[in-house]
Amino acid sequence: MTNIILLGPPGAGKGTQARRLVEERGMVHLSTGDMLREARTSGTEMGRKVAEVMDRGDLVTDEIVIGLIEEKLAGENARGFIFDGFPRTLAQADALGALLKRSGNRLDAVIEMRVDDEALVERISGRFTCGQCGEVYHDKTRPTKAEGVCDECGSTDLRRRADDNAESLKTRLMEYYKKTSPLIGYYYHAGDLFTVDGLAEIDQVAKAIANVLDQAKSS
């Protein structure tokens, strides 16, 4: 069983690579962003607050996201988890370590996907996803084969995220550098950090991640 974290700024390609790993290796994808987007449609007071915070580009409280992850870990008996967009703070990283330990598991690799800010603006402004199956597309780098139709499931329900705009991205990037990038040092110190070039083509990034997984398994 292999547990990994995909670490990188918004638009680095975490979701894209996580979906491939699910398909190719049967791992379970845990995205706190996806969980929070689901929570915001629940019509509860909590959902309304979460929506406001997300649209601004700020981080949701540690308490809420740790609670979501704890629930998922308790309910799944997986062949390995991919943590995508979690942890985003040192408190979340500590909490994840404790949760894994409690269930007799450990972290095998933290994969930092390195991409520069200029590319992120391009990535985020062209991103759209399938509302039915979650497949991730891009206007230029990964368009659908038929205009307006999902390649994977045939749905025409293609959506753009409310927070994928220039203003919110600015806040999200600042939050990343202030609160999340210290995790790179944290996991480097723990000996768990691997870095891949997130600017490479999607297939090349997938290969680099596969290499890391093979390395982590044999260590």
- Residue from 88, 93, 96, 193 binding ligand ADP (CB under 6 A): 88
Catalytic, 160? Answer no
CB 20 → Zn ion: shortest distance, Å? 15
Q: Pick what 133 binds: Zn ion, ligand ADP, none; C-beta below 5 to 8 Å, kind-dependent.
A: Zn ion
Q: Return the number of other C-beta atoms located less than 10 Å from residue 176's C-beta.
A: 20
128 touches 160 (CB < 8 A): yes
Catalytic, 172? Answer yes
State which of positions 178-217 bind ligand ADP (CB under 6 A): 201-202, 205
| Cα-only R_g, the chain | 17
Question: Is 133 an interacting residue with respect to Zn ion (CB under 5 A)?
Answer: yes
Catalytic, 14? Answer yes
192 touches 107 (CB < 8 A): yes
- Residue from 20, 49, 53, 158 binding ligand ADP (CB under 6 A): 53
Round to whole Å and give the CA distance between 14 and 33.
Answer: 11
Residues in the chain: 219
Which residue, 116 or 217, has its beta carbon nearer to ligand ADP?
116
Please work out, in degrees rounded to the nearest 5, the angle formed at the alpha carbon of residue 156 by the alpha carbons of 54 and 51. Answer: 10
Q: Return the number of other C-beta atoms located less than 10 Å from residue 150's C-beta.
A: 21
109 touches 192 (CB < 8 A): yes
User: Which of the following is catalytic: 14, 19, 40, 123?
Assistant: 14
| Nearest in space to 180 (alpha carbons), one of 5, 1, 4 | 5
> If phi over 0 gives left and psi between -120 and 50 gives alpha, with beta otherwise, what is residue 162?
alpha
Pick the piece of the chain touching Zn ion (CB under 5 A) from 4-12, 112-120, 126-134, 172-180.
126-134
- Residue from 4, 5, 14, 93 binding ligand ADP (CB under 6 A): 14
Question: Is 92 an interacting residue with respect to ligand ADP (CB under 6 A)?
Answer: yes
Residues with active-site annotation: 14, 88, 127, 161, 172
Interacting residue ranges for ligand ADP, rule: CB under 6 A: 8, 10-16, 32-33, 36, 53-54, 57-60, 65, 85-86, 88, 92, 123, 126-127, 136-138, 141-142, 163, 172, 201-202, 205
